[in-house]
Each structure stands twice: as C-alpha cells, then as structure tokens.
Chain A
Amino acid sequence: MINASLKQISAHLAAKKISSVELTQLYLDRIAAFNSRLNAYITVNPEMSLAQAREADFRIAAGKAEALTGIPIAQKDIFCAKGWRTTCGSKMLENFISPYDAHVIGQFNNAGAVNLGKTNMDEFAMGSSNETSYFGAVKNPWDRNAVPGGSSGGSACAVATRLCAAATGTDTGGSIRQPAALCGISGLKPTYGVCSRYGMIAFASSLDQAGPMAHSAEDLALLLNVMAGFDERDSTSLQREKEDYARDLTKPLNGLRIGLPKEFFAEGLSNDVAQAVEAAIAEYKKLGASVVEISLPNSRLSVPVYYVLAPAEASSNLSRFDGVRYGHRAPDYTDLADMYEKSRAQGFGAEVKRRIMIGTYVLSHGYYDAYYLQAQKIRRLIAQDFTEAFRQCDIIMGPTSPSTAFKLGEKGDDPVQMYLSDIYTIAVNLAGLPGMSIPCGFGAANNGNPGMPVGLQIIGNYFDEARMLNAAHQYQLATDWHNRVPQGL
C-alpha cells in the first residue's frame, strides 16, 4: 500500500480494501517508528488526522469521494492550518497555533484529504539543506549523513520514505525541486499565481509558489488539480479556467522539442549528475523527442539577482514577527526597542537574520537604485531569455542541482556555496515559469558512500504544466527511477 500510486490508493479506499482511518493509522505508525531517525515532521496530531480520516470514510461510504478523499497528505509547515501548530521552522512561531486555513489547506480539506502532519523545513523557507530549521535538520533517507535539500526537505524526505502518500512544498528559488532531486522524488513548482499564496507564510512574495511533491508525475497531476485555482484573497492569484492537469499524461512524446541550455551543462556541474541527466535525455530521444541547444545568457546572474530581491521582500515580510501580537517575545526587556531587538534576536536563526540584513541594506536610501532596481531590470532580462528560448523548443531540460546531496554541515560555513546549489532552479522563479524535478538516476557510490539520487529538471512555458507532466509521466513509464525506495525503512 505504501508504494501504491494515489490513483491505486483511491481505488483501494473505494473498494473498501482499506479505510482512510486504517491508512492514516498506518502512516502515523510509520512516522512514530521512523521520524526520530529522519526528523521529517515537526508536528503530528493523530487525533486531528484521524478525525479527518473518519469524515473521509463517511464521505467514501456516501459515494461522494473525490480523487484525494481519504488520502493522508503531509503539509509543509509553512501552510497555516486551523488548529495546527504552524512554525515555519522557526523558534519565532514555535507555539503558534493557526486560527485559520491557508487556501491550499482548504482545498485539500474540501477534497476530503487527510492532513497527516506538518513537515520540517528550513526556517522561513530560507535554506537549501534544511539545516536552518530551528527543529533540527532533516536527514537524507538515502544517506542519513547527507542533507535532504531545502527548504521543503521534510516533505521530500517524508515522500521518499513513505511516511505519507504525498506532500506539499513551496518553492521560492528551488525549494520544491532541489529537495525532490536530492531525495529521489518528483516535485512541481507551478507557474507563479496558479496556487494561491493565502495562508502560506511569506518568504519572498513575488517568487513564492506552492506545489505538490510525490512519487510520480501522475500523482503530482492529481495533487495539482486540488491545489490550483483562483482565490480572491490573493491578488496575485490568476483567474483562469479550471484545468485537468492529468489530461495529457498519456500523450506520446513524438515531436516534442527539448531545449538544453548550454549554461546548465557548463563548469560547476558534477560528473555524476551530468551523466544521469544525459542518459535521461537519451531516453527522451528514444521516446520520440528531439533536442536543441539553447542559451539563457543572463541565467548566470540569477543567483545574485535572487539574493537581492528575495531578501528585500523577506526583510519586509518578516517585520510582522515582532513579539507584539503573537510569536516569540523575549521574557525580559527594558523598553520597546529592547523588546523588538531581543525578541527577534532570540526568535530568528542566523540565516534568517543574514537575509533580513541583506534585504534591509539593499532597500536602504542610497542603495535601492544600485541593488533593488538593478536586480528588477535583470530579472526582466532573465525572463526574456526564456521567452526567446521557447521560440525554439517546447520544453527545457537540465539538471535540477549541480551535485547530488552533500553532507550535513559541509556547506554550513559558506553561505555562497550553499546559495550556488540553487543555480539551475532560481531563474525559473525569477521568470515565474513552472518547473519540476523527477528522479533520473543515481550518482556514483564512493568511499563507502552510497550513490545518491539525481534529479532531472523540466521547465515549461507559462501554464504548460500539463505538457511537463506528460513528458515526466512518459519518462516514468519507460524508467523506474521514481520507484526506487531507500533501504532500511
């Protein structure tokens, strides 16, 4: 059951081979058994999960089940869920119980899915290794000395280890795709505006986007069908016709033109990742696709541009965490300024503080034009590169991350090295395009270390999620990388 697809689970539930309560309990038992080794979840609440499962069982019995009814889904702890502790991986919100549901959570609730628990993440989604979480790093299930990626590392780990049927993530600069790649699962960041950001704790508002993380492209499509949709409470949510993201899954790939950005296969890419990605491209050719080299000349600027814009927005978004109305307040302080300083000094971790300071700096009088405005201009150029590229191809492919999972602590002292692990994913957020990562092999085992998963990144044009899912699904029909399961769990 734990290796079954969402479609299969749904069929089992419908056929009464298992109830939602039993299934939820099965996952809760697995979490109880394995989470201490993995640290994938920050909060589980069996009582609330099982209550939802019971409701789902009634709904199934009444014949009113939808595709995800009764299925236990892990939620990244960035989504506010009513009655659930919602920490965003921070001491600041260690004891924050959300009084309301994020739009995405509401969508799952309406669909009858079960909230299985809140997954670990880098603090306020700021990190690429999950090491910035106040609740401790998540372990990579393939090598518990390695990072799971970030910031949606808890969700990626939970999916990979079958501690949930599927999960949600958010992606500001690669936070769904990179941990999906490092943990060997599938993850999709939709076009900016497809999923409402309401109730998703903001990191960088113009870049943040929610998306599904699962075992397969087919599962992603079913999850996205529930998560996507216009929400009037988010002014950046897009008003579009409801679409079925699974509609094109079975289409053959004959004639699909794949663009390979030459900048993504240059210096900095590790050999084992390059080999796995090239093998995947070869597989696509076998499936009928053609390949064309493209160029994204400004993509080399995406990391610096991102590290101006994202911290700028974050510095402002995180101002509400001031200890006044909710969240951490320092126990002792002398006056208002002291209360702010101590509460924030105690409540935020080092990486969050670093980004608040960078963001405050680049927005400051006298620096705004040189940094923020300049970065906005380059952002447009980066987006134009993609527009240009999509004249020559239907879809873009390349590595998700320059290397497989690195060791815990390996990049802890060097933020710039850490930032570079998102070098292939960030441009996609800056352009607002949809991007995904699917497993495409393993790196070389060496020195007693196992070979670690490699992710293939697929980038589509705006609103081309169905086509991307089609490409991913056809590949997954032809390969079995996505079915590999880490041992010992």
Chain B
Amino acid sequence: MTWEIVIGLEVHTQLSTNTKIFSGASTAFGAEPNTQADAVSIALPGVLPVLNKGAVERAIKFGLATGAHIAPRSVFARKNYFYPDLPKGYQISQFDLPVVGNGQLIILVPASGTRQAYEKAVRITRAHLEEDAGKSMHGDFHGMTGIDLNRAGTPLLEIVSEPDMRSAAEAVAYAKALHTLVRWIGICDGNMQEGSFRCDANVSVRRPGEPLGTRREIKNLNSFRFLEQAINYEAQWQIGTLENGGAIHQATVLFDPDKGETRMMRSKEDAHDYRYFPDPDLLPLDISDEWKEQVRTTLPELPQAKQARYVSELGLSIYDAGVLTASCEMADFFETTLAALSPNPSPASGRGEQSAKICANWLIGEVSAQLNRDNLDMAQCPITPQQLGGMIRRIADGTISNSGAKEVFRAMWTEGGDADAIIEAKGLKQVSDSGAIEALVDEIIAANADKVAEYRSGKDKLFGFFVGLAMKASKGKANPAQLNEVLKRKLSG
C-alpha cells in the first residue's frame, strides 16, 4: 500500500520597506552590529511601536495578488517568550485576526521522469504582519553570546498555506511560485542567503483517503534545495517509523544540510505557551476600500495575466509564455527586447508575432543557456534587451543568417557592442542581391553538368549538394531562402 505525503508551508518574507515595521530605524542588510538598533529596536523602557504604513501596503498588495480577503480590521497581538535576541520579551505579530486570509496561488509543477508538467492551485490560509527578531551570534565572544539587534523589528509577512501539497516537488514549485510573486509585486527582494525568504515545512504522511497524519514542522529552510531534501528525508523517516509500528509525535525539527537529516528540536510538550493577547500599544489596523483600491493601482500585471496575454496577443505557446513569466526579470527583459525591436509595436500583426517568437526562442534558448553556463542571473546579463533587439531585427530582415546571428550573439556577450557594428566588422552580412546569387548559381550549374543531369533525372537528394556548393562559393553569406529559391528554379530547367 502506498503513502501520501501532505505538506503545508509557512513562508516568512521580509518586506522591502526602508525602515522597520514599528520604528524609523533602517532595515538595510549587512551593517555593523547594532548600528541600526534605535530606542524601539532595543526596547528601552517607555518606547512605543508605531506601525509602518509601507509594510501594510505590501501586505495588501500580496492579498490582492493572490485573490485573498483583505481584512477591513485586523489586530496586532503580542507573542510572549524570552530570548536574548527578542528585546521586548514579546514579538508583535497577528494572531486570530490576520490582515490577509483565503488566497490562492497557481503553481506549475515541472515534468520529472515520465511525469508530465502540471498545474495545481494551492490555497493560502492566511498572511500576517509581524516583526523579525534580532540575531544571536555564538562564537568569538569568549564563551558568551553576542546579540545584533539590527534585524529586530524588520517587517515580515508570514504566508501560511493549506496542507495542499503532496510531494516535495509540489512544495518546491509552490515556494518558487511564491518567491517569484513577492519579487514580481515588489514586496520582498527574495534574497534567500540574507534570509529575506525563509520556509518552514509542515510534513505528515497518511494512507490515501485517511485523515491527516500527525505533522512535524521543519524550521528555517533557506534554499529550495534544502526544502526538497528536508521534506523527502522527513517523509521517508515518518513512513519508515510508521511501517515499523512506531508513531509520529507532533514536534519541531531542524534540517541539517550537511547530514541531509532532520533532527528533533522540541516536542509538543516543550512548546511555549505564547500567551497571545491584543497589543494595547497599537490600534486595530483598519484598511478602507479606498486604501485597498489605491494599492491595487500600484500592482503590476501579474504573471498569470501576462502569460495569458503572451499566448493570445503574441501567439506564443503556453510553454514559452510560462517560461518567460517565471520571473519578473525575464518578463521585463522579454518585453523590453520586443519594444526595442519594433518601436511602434502592433502585437496583433503577423510581423509582431514572428518577432515575439524569435525573441522568445533566443531568451529561452541561447540567453538562458549562456546565463546558466556563466552562473549569472537575469539581472546580471551582459547583453541588454536593446542589444538583443538590434540583433533580432537583423535576423528578421534577413541581414544575417541564424549561424551569423550566433556569432553576433557570442561577440555581444563577450565583447559587447551593437549587432550592426559586429555584423559590419565580422562581415556577416548575407548576400541578398538576386543578380549575384543567380550568377553564382549559373556558374555552379555550368561547372557540374553531370550532377545537374542526374538531379533532373530524379535524384532529388542532390539538391543539398548544390546548396553546399553555392554556400561555399558565397563564403556562407548567401541568403539561404533566396539561394534555395534560385537553385530550385534554375535546376528544374
């Protein structure tokens, strides 16, 4: 009998405000310890929190982008526990009345082995605003612990999904889709190394059709690879335990990336009683329809909508449209290239579709491959959309052949420069002068009378032989389409 894996994710996204959620201290990453810890961050006696509107707007954006309910009134609550990097002895969070509820995210789970790629909707239970804690630094302090409160008070949006995922692959696809979305709508920089996007995974297993099993929560997974490894390990561990007659007890576990294992952090019995209660220092958060609508006007076109538009208006395949909208950088690059290509775009025209298809092929093909090889991300791409557009314009108007384009592309990548200048310098211009091509074909026919006779008697395969000769004679510059046309005409007598 098989097992079903059930996964729900809690993702902490650091919101991209310049200042903290309850004070004016900077949130910039990487400053000297405690240089961004103001009176509120270190919780001096008597200081009070004041809510950062920018953090709320980012939460609203997220809610709108996931079709969620934006609570007209939500409440900040105190989560009480002692820890040295939690300066107030409580974290200001939201508990029973979060700002965002009941959203949904469509994910694309990529093909794997014999399984096809498929789409799936993952429900978002809630998303709430809260403040981050500081950092405890062990080591280098002569047996003591150092505390850096620069991060204390950084705004977070904790996004909680329903247990809708059934495999590590689905969980990763969801996390990636979420990662794309928060960057897409500009609420989080998505930097996982700096901890701007952190996942906790709730994992349980069950026999299909049975009620949910007992879950264990894997804390603080800060890469998609660790997320996948940790879930797979944890699920196998739970299955193994159950199959050996054991039972799963609710617990919080940590993933050790070096060993590839999860290990127990605390059991349910050790769980804190956080003694949540509404924070009396903060008023309930009221969000009017006007505010919501005003924020809506700042939302960019969302990936799903863009994808649909690429298919209907630009004639791209669903697959291509999906790849091009996998990140906002990719989509931006694509659209800027397209705009550079045709200053007055008329997307509905056949010409526009042709250019869009060429653009898509280059981005999905050469550009992505080269970025991968050089281990760069889109933002670091050495070629600008304007450069790429300039090259594609020359492909579309027949100035260069595809093989010539590859040479142009390599030159632009390594040395920079305009396509036109490179074409000129490297002499890559195709010969499209019909007189010159006809003369060249005439010469070849005259010099190979025997082969011509063979061809004319039915040996069609020789056509390639003539193309090869003609290309060689033109030093590869003959416009292939034109050459084909002339050859065909002249050979058929």
Q: B-contacting residues of A (Cβ < 8 Å)?
A: 79-80, 86, 88, 93, 96, 98-100, 102, 197-202, 204-206, 232-236, 312-313, 315-316, 318-322, 324-326, 336, 340, 360, 363-365, 368, 372
8 more CB-based (< 8 A) A-B contacts, given A201-B46, A206-B280: A99-B39, A200-B46, A205-B280, A232-B50, A319-B90, A320-B43, A320-B87, A363-B276
Cβ contact within 8 Å between A205 and B281 = yes
Complex-state Cα separation, A315 to B80, whole angstroms: 9
Q: Does B142 contact A (CB under 8 A)?
A: no
Q: A-contacting residues of B (Cβ < 8 Å)?
A: 39, 42-51, 78, 80, 82, 84, 87-90, 147, 273, 275-277, 280-283
Cβ contact within 8 Å between B275 and A360 = yes
Cβ contact within 8 Å between A88 and B45 = yes
Q: Which B-chain residue is minimally distant from A90 (CB atoms)?
A: B45
List residues of chain A with CB within 8 A of the CB of B43.
320, 325
Cβ contact within 8 Å between A235 and B49 = yes
List residues of chain B with CB within 8 A of the CB of A88.
45
Cβ contact within 8 Å between A316 and B44 = no
Cβ contact within 8 Å between A316 and B45 = no
List residues of chain A with CB within 8 A of the CB of B42.
325
List residues of chain A with CB within 8 A of the CB of B275.
315-316, 360, 363-365, 368
Shortest A424–chain B CB gap in Å is 24
Cβ contact within 8 Å between A313 and B280 = yes
Q: A235-B50, A320-B87 are in contact. Are A365 and B273 (CB under 8 A)?
A: yes
A102, A204, A320, A364: residue with the most chain B Cβ atoms closer than 10 Å: A320
Cβ contact within 8 Å between A202 and B46 = yes
Cβ contact within 8 Å between B277 and A100 = no
Complex-state Cα separation, A401 to B140, whole angstroms: 58
Partner of A93, one of B45, B48, B87: B45
6 contacts between A and B (CB under 8 A): A86-B45, A96-B45, A205-B280, A235-B283, A360-B275, A372-B277
Q: A316-B78, A316-B80 are in contact. Are A326 and B51 (CB under 8 A)?
A: no
Shortest B363–chain A CB gap in Å is 48
Cβ contact within 8 Å between B48 and A368 = no
Shortest A122–chain B CB gap in Å is 16
Cβ contact within 8 Å between B89 and A316 = yes
Complex-state Cα separation, A326 to B47, whole angstroms: 14
Cβ contact within 8 Å between A336 and B84 = yes
Q: Which B-chain residue is minimally distant from A373 (CB atoms)?
A: B277
Complex-state Cα separation, A202 to B90, whole angstroms: 14
List residues of chain B with CB within 8 A of the CB of A318.
89
List residues of chain B with CB within 8 A of the CB of A102.
46
Partner of A322, one of B49, B50, B89: B89
Q: A86-B45, A201-B45 are in contact. Are A364 and B273 (CB under 8 A)?
A: yes
List residues of chain A with CB within 8 A of the CB of B51.
235
Complex-state Cα separation, A89 to B2, whole angstroms: 66
Q: A234-B48, A235-B282, A325-B87 are in contact. Are A316 and B277 (CB under 8 A)?
A: yes
Shortest B21–chain A CB gap in Å is 13
Cβ contact within 8 Å between A368 and B277 = yes
Q: A340-B82, A364-B273 are in contact. Are A236 and B281 (CB under 8 A)?
A: yes
Complex-state Cα separation, A319 to B91, whole angstroms: 11
Complex-state Cα separation, A206 to B276, whole angstroms: 16
Complex-state Cα separation, A324 to B89, whole angstroms: 11
Cβ contact within 8 Å between B89 and A319 = yes
Cβ contact within 8 Å between A363 and B90 = no
Q: A364-B273, A364-B275 are in contact. Are A233 and B147 (CB under 8 A)?
A: no
Shortest A441–chain B CB gap in Å is 37
List residues of chain B with CB within 8 A of the CB of A96.
45
Q: Which B-chain residue is minimally distant from A361 (CB atoms)?
A: B275
List residues of chain B with CB within 8 A of the CB of A199.
46-47
Shortest B274–chain A CB gap in Å is 8
Cβ contact within 8 Å between B84 and A197 = no
Complex-state Cα separation, A320 to B275, whole angstroms: 15
List residues of chain A with CB within 8 A of the CB of B49.
235
Cβ contact within 8 Å between A80 and B89 = no
Complex-state Cα separation, A269 to B470, whole angstroms: 118
Cβ contact within 8 Å between B48 and A198 = yes
Shortest A276–chain B CB gap in Å is 36
Shortest B153–chain A CB gap in Å is 13
Complex-state Cα separation, A316 to B43, whole angstroms: 13
B45, B84, B273: residue with the most chain A Cβ atoms closer than 10 Å: B45
Complex-state Cα separation, A316 to B283, whole angstroms: 17
Cβ contact within 8 Å between A363 and B87 = no
Cβ contact within 8 Å between B50 and A233 = yes
Complex-state Cα separation, A106 to B423, whole angstroms: 71
List residues of chain B with CB within 8 A of the CB of A204.
280
List residues of chain A with CB within 8 A of the CB of B45.
80, 86, 88, 93, 96, 98, 201-202, 320-321
List residues of chain B with CB within 8 A of the CB of A313.
277, 280
Shortest B53–chain A CB gap in Å is 12
Q: Which A-chain residue is minimally distant from B37 (CB atoms)?
A: A325
Shortest B241–chain A CB gap in Å is 28
Cβ contact within 8 Å between B282 and A80 = no
A206, A233, A234, A318: residue with the most chain B Cβ atoms closer than 10 Å: A233
Q: Which A-chain residue is minimally distant from B271 (CB atoms)?
A: A365
Q: Which B-chain residue is minimally distant from A88 (CB atoms)?
A: B45
List residues of chain B with CB within 8 A of the CB of A326.
44
Shortest B353–chain A CB gap in Å is 55
Cβ contact within 8 Å between A324 and B84 = yes
Cβ contact within 8 Å between A319 and B88 = yes
Q: Which B-chain residue is minimally distant from A202 (CB atoms)?
A: B46
Cβ contact within 8 Å between A316 and B84 = no
List residues of chain B with CB within 8 A of the CB of A202.
45-46, 281
Q: Which A-chain residue is minimally distant from B23 (CB atoms)?
A: A233
Shortest A371–chain B CB gap in Å is 11
Complex-state Cα separation, A486 to B482, whole angstroms: 116
Cβ contact within 8 Å between A100 and B44 = yes
Complex-state Cα separation, A96 to B45, whole angstroms: 10
Q: Which B-chain residue is minimally distant from A313 (CB atoms)?
A: B280
